[in-house]
Amino acid sequence: MDRILLKNGQMVCPAGGIDEIRDLLIEKGKIVKTGKNLKAESARTIDASGKLVLPGFIDMHVHLREPGFEHKETIESGARAAVKGGFTSVCCMPNTEPVIDNQGIVELVATRAREAGLASVYCIGAITRGRKGKELSDIGELKAAGVLALSDDGSEVLNSELLRRAMEYASTFGLFIISHCEDPWLAAGGSVNEGAVSTRLGLGGIPRVAETVMVSRDIALAAYLGAKIHIAHISCAESVDMVRAAKKAGVKVTCECAPHHMFLTEEAVLGYNTNTKVNPPLRTEADRQAVLSGLLDNTIDCVATDHAPHAEMEKDVEYDNAPFGVTGLETAVGLMFTELVDRKIITVSRLAEKMSLNPARILGLNRGTLKEGSVADITVIDPKAEWAVRVEDFVSLSKNSPFIDRKLKGKAVMTIVEGKIVYEEKD
Ligand code: DOR
């Protein structure tokens, strides 16, 4: 059906400064009208009373694993998890096999995403060929193929001169670098945050300085070149401070944080549950508070899940041997509502800014708004829905969530991508 009429939802759109009960009419993939008492013949009419109607959420940091690791996730299963979680667009990181460092792989991802017909899937291209950190990918080719940014996520580009050239080329092509800030020598052998918990558990520690030295270097390079940089999955207080200071100084830096760094600490590792093993690691309560403060004072621009699916047999090993990564697409919205909106730490409009408008702006996507004429990417939330995170409910191929059994309030009940209902909760 080409026409959909959402009736009486609480429409919240930070771009338009709207937070009121309105109807919203969708036609041929676009939002054509919003207002009171709208009528539309031959439209599917949906009663959205008591629900929030928000610009579709955008997750700028996910790992969809295809090609190469389809036992963990495929474009189809990842896109399904995305729309179930309320995300209309996701950006997939290039640490696939082969790596997303050329036009062919970007096209493969686009084809698979089109076949799935669920979320919009964009690619982040690799900065260096094969993510090996030795030579630059063909950035012009990647831009032409449609990547939105460049990253070697999972690894840092250690050669500062190479990264400088990557930043320069990226700027020339209207792209930017997403930085995975980690010094691998400082982090070597670590599984958890270095500190009391690593000592107590006898696990190798990853010191915060492994992150901060690289945040510092990458901001310095961006400042020197006047280039745009985005810091991925920020996890510790000093990094937040550095980004805050850099923004004040006029550096074109943006950054993201992940739900697990906002809602968990290293204490979660105490039971040796490998679903708490993530890179960067869960940090201290002070870091968690610093990340939250950064989100509130706009040092941190957006929330991104770093959805990193791994198969059960891969996680079902000793803590040191388990791969880093946690899933996030199906729990992020519930966590944000439960921990921040329901407790009145942020408003719904603020949440829409952090999960839709700001990522759209950072990525240069013409999304993140409910203004008339814009693409009909919409997330409908039931803010009162109470639910628990259950392994059996995940549609992602992987179930490595650190939030299993958490009770949450607030969930996506309908996801609309380009005017098409791609997810609808069944009663
Ligand atoms: O925990 C993580 N897992 N962090 C990363 O940077 C990469 C990711 C993955 O690909 O599994």
Give the model confidence (pLDDT) of 47-103 as tens digits.
999 999 999 999 999 999 999 999 999 999 999 999 999 999 999 999 999 999 999
Answer whether 332's CB lies under 8 Å from 58's CB: no
Give me the mean pLDDT over the 273-302 stretch. 98
The closest-lying atom of ligand 1 relative to the alpha carbon of residue 325 is 1
C-alpha 292/C-alpha 278 separation (Å) is 18
What is residue 338's predicted lDDT score, i.e. its pLDDT? 98
What angle (nearest 5°) sits at the alpha carbon of residue 32, between those of residues 28 and 37? 120
Between the CA of 308 and the centroid of ligand 1 the distance, in Å, is: 6
What is residue 387's predicted lDDT score, i.e. its pLDDT? 98
| Nearest CA owner, ligand 1 atom 7 | 154
| Nearest CA owner, ligand 1 atom 6 | 154
> How sure is the predictor about 2, in pLDDT bands with cuts at 50, 70 and 90?
confident
Answer whether 244's CB lies under 8 Å from 269's CB: no
Residues with CB under 6 A from ligand 1: 63, 95, 153-154, 180, 278-279, 308, 324-325
What is the chain's mean pLDDT, rounded? 98
Answer whether 150's CB lies under 8 Å from 125's CB: yes
**Domains and their CATH numbers in the chain:** 3-53+374-424 (2.30.40.10), 55-363 (3.20.20.140)
What is residue 1's predicted lDDT score, i.e. its pLDDT? 63
- CA neighbor of 184 nearest in space, from 141, 155, 146: 155
Mutate which of 324, 396, 397, 400 for ligand 1? The one with the most ligand atoms within 8 Å of its CB, which is: 324
* Predicted confidence (pLDDT) at residue 144 exceeds the cutoff of 90: yes
Mutate which of 64, 279, 319 for ligand 1? The one with the most ligand atoms within 8 Å of its CB, which is: 279
* Predicted confidence (pLDDT) at residue 356 exceeds the cutoff of 80: yes
Between the CA of 180 and the centroid of ligand 1 the distance, in Å, is: 10
For residue 101, indicate whether it is catalytic.
Answer: no
Answer whether 208's CB lies under 8 Å from 234's CB: no
Q: Give the DSSP H/E element, type plus range, for residue 222.
A: helix 209-225
| Nearest CA owner, ligand 1 atom 3 | 325
> How sure is the predictor about 237, in pLDDT bands with cuts at 50, 70 and 90?
very high
* Predicted confidence (pLDDT) at residue 260 exceeds the cutoff of 70: yes
| Nearest CA owner, ligand 1 atom 5 | 154
User: Which of 23, 301, 306, 382 is labelled catalytic?
Assistant: 306
The closest-lying atom of ligand 1 relative to the alpha carbon of residue 63 is 10
Between the CA of 314 and the centroid of ligand 1 the distance, in Å, is: 14
The closest-lying atom of ligand 1 relative to the alpha carbon of residue 180 is 6
Between the CA of 360 and the centroid of ligand 1 the distance, in Å, is: 23
What angle (nearest 5°) sits at the alpha carbon of residue 64, between those of residues 59 and 69? 165
Q: Which tokens go with 251?
A: 């550096």
| Nearest CA owner, ligand 1 atom 2 | 325
The closest-lying atom of ligand 1 relative to the alpha carbon of residue 326 is 1
What is residue 187's predicted lDDT score, i.e. its pLDDT? 98
Between the CA of 279 and the centroid of ligand 1 the distance, in Å, is: 6
pLDDT digits (tens, 9 = 90+) for 369-410: 999 999 999 999 999 999 999 999 999 999 999 999 999 999
What is residue 426's predicted lDDT score, i.e. its pLDDT? 84
* Predicted confidence (pLDDT) at residue 14 exceeds the cutoff of 70: yes
Percent of the chain's residues with pLDDT above 90: 99
Answer whether 196's CB lies under 8 Å from 169's CB: no
Mutate which of 61, 152, 153, 277 for ligand 1? The one with the most ligand atoms within 8 Å of its CB, which is: 153
* Predicted confidence (pLDDT) at residue 427 exceeds the cutoff of 80: no
3-state helix, strand, coil in the chain (%, to 5): 35, 25, 40
Between the CA of 154 and the centroid of ligand 1 the distance, in Å, is: 5
Mutate which of 95, 211, 260 for ligand 1? The one with the most ligand atoms within 8 Å of its CB, which is: 95
| Nearest CA owner, ligand 1 atom 1 | 325
Between the CA of 56 and the centroid of ligand 1 the distance, in Å, is: 25
pLDDT digits (tens, 9 = 90+) for 159-199: 999 999 999 999 999 999 999 999 999 999 999 999 999 99
